[in-house]
Amino acid sequence: MYSMIFLGVASFALSLILTPLFRNIALRLKLVDEPDNRRKIHKVPIPRIGGVAIAAAAVAAYGLLFVSRLNGGSILRAGAPFAIHLLPAAMVVFCVGLADDIFRLRPLYKLAAQIVAAILAWNSGIHLIAIGGRDLPVMLSFVLTIIWIVACSNAMNLIDGVDGLATGVGLFASVTTLIAALFHHNIGLAFATVPLVGALLGFLRFNFSPASIFLGDCGSLTLGFLLGCYGIVWSEKSTTLLSMAAPLMVLFVPLADASLAIIRRFLRQQPIFGADRGHIHHKLLSQGLPPWRVVLILYGFCGLAGVAGLILTATQVQYHGFVVIVVILAAWLGIQHLGYSELGVAGKVVFGGGFHRLLNAHLNLAKFEQELMATETVDEIWQLLCRDSCDFGFSGVELRIDDEVRLTKGSLGWKIRVDFPGRGYINLTRAIGSRDPSSAGVMFVDCIERVFFKRLNELRPRRSEVPVYAEAN
């Protein structure tokens, strides 16, 4: 226990000492994040290699423990397989993050490096071996482990958008993991988490709003990677599907933010790896909240999710379902208050009958198009128009072809006119306040413009346009 306290205090103190040191070095080397007055909210260049200070503090704390007289060194040596074998994988993520902070790498290269690191982690024994007490096949275990670790790394990277947010979220996750590790008597996991807690706490002093140093990709990617790996080690003790959700709860805020970003970009057909101002923290900032308040709100959610995770891991199975229901309802409420228009519109389309109306309109249109192509006379086309136009929200039709006018009684409303050059036109009237989907009406007009004119010319070409062929002798 003393070794653990020593490790935590040492990493905290070292972080307090090393962070300003690395901040000054970064300023001298111009390794700074320049403000862009668009997506970034800081006004002056700020050093972005804070991850180096955290890593240095954590590693140095381990070093101090090794050389100290405390028996933690021997405990650490005994539990070394987990911590030391994970080191190469963590180094890969850290180096790629650092390279991105210095040179700006392409997202695909970063992703490839994260996958390599996740494979190394799998190789070092980080395996998602079972779900809900059932053993997974090796291949599935491998794929799920890689996906989980890469998802955690990127989620933590994506949430690093406001001063102190990623560091605080990481701190909450580390503390929760540490408590769970102590509860499960998992000394290896506790020893792996303690220096992270200390180093993050020390770093938060400089990273909280207004920040004088940023975590950087080297910090956020490595933090997400380590927490993902720790989550897998934690989940090894879980026997049911719901208790496996505990490590997920710990990273609930970053994972929810990443999932929302993917869903939003998919719905808008935007590149998944692109940057935008639609993350949870951006939404809260756009509601006029100051950065420190946004961060505190999200800390609150992380705290609640952490408590839910601990309840899932420490209590009887009977509570688990209820805890998960409460967390889902809280997340739903939170997402509703963020006011994502993409989700609102998608929800309306799927649950508000919009999808069925659109599907119905497409089916009606396909039928209309088929029947239109099968007509033989203009009168048949007219009857078809009169019959089907109301299905697309039009209350009246006026057709003028070759100076012949056909008219239905229509209520007052706005009109759409489609001209058929040299032949006439069609006027479609849509009643004011019509509740039929207007998109169906547009599709109908588009179909008339495409198919109707073509069919009209096939049926009875204008006299002047009838080709005159020379008669054969």
Partner 1 sequence: MLKLTSVRLQLLWGILVGTIVLWSLLPYWGNQPRIVGTYFNRDWVHFLAYGVVSILPVLSWGRKTGLSLSIGVAVLATGLELARALVEARSLDVRYIVINILGIAAGMLLALNILTIRSRMSRAGT
Binding site for partner 1 (CB under 8 A): 315-316, 318-319, 322-323, 325-326, 329-330, 332-333, 336-337, 344, 352
Q: Which is nearer to partner 1, 77 or 356 (CB)?
A: 356
Half-sphere exposure of 141 (CA within 13 A, CB side): 18
Looking at the Cβ atoms of 436 and 449, the one nearer to partner 1 is 436
Nearer to partner 1, 358 or 447 (CB): 358
Residue whose structure tokens are 């395996």: 127
CB of 12 to partner 1, least distance (A): 34
CB of 391 to partner 1, least distance (A): 22
Nearer to partner 1, 334 or 424 (CB): 334
Q: What is the DSSP letter of 451?
A: I
Nearest distance, CB of residue 353 and partner 1, angstroms: 11
Element (H, E) at 430: strand 424-431
How many residues are there in the chain?
A: 473
Tell me the C-alpha distance between 63 and 9, whole Å. Answer: 13
Shortest Å distance, C-beta 435 to partner 1 = 10
Beta bridge partners of 400: 405, 425
Instruction: Give the H or E element holding residue 378.
Output: helix 378-388
- Give whichever of 151 and 440 is closer to partner 1, judged by the CB atom: 440
Least CB distance to partner 1 at residue 188 (A): 31
Judged by beta carbon, residue 286 or residue 315, the one nearer partner 1 is 315
Task: Using alpha carbons, select from 231, 260, 237 the residue that is nearest to residue 336.
Answer: 260
How far is it, in rounded angstroms, from Cα 167 to Cα 214?
9
* 35 or 334: CB nearest partner 1: 334
Q: What are the structure tokens assigned to 153, written together?
A: 């790394």
Q: How far is the CB of 410 from partner 1 (least distance, A)?
A: 25
Pick the closer one to partner 1 by CB: 110 or 320. 320
- Facing residues of 420 across strands? 424
For residue 243, the 8-state DSSP code is T
Helices (H) and strands (E) in the chain, counts: 20, 8
- Nearest partner of 215 among 86, 94, 309, judged by Cα: 94
User: Dihedral of the CA atoms 227, 309, 338, 254 (nearest 10)?
Assistant: 10
| Amino acid letter, residue 178 | L
What's the min distance (Å) between Cβ of 343 and partner 1?
A: 12
Q: How far is the CB of 241 from partner 1 (least distance, A)?
A: 17
How many C-beta atoms lie closer than 10 Å to residue 74's C-beta? Answer: 11
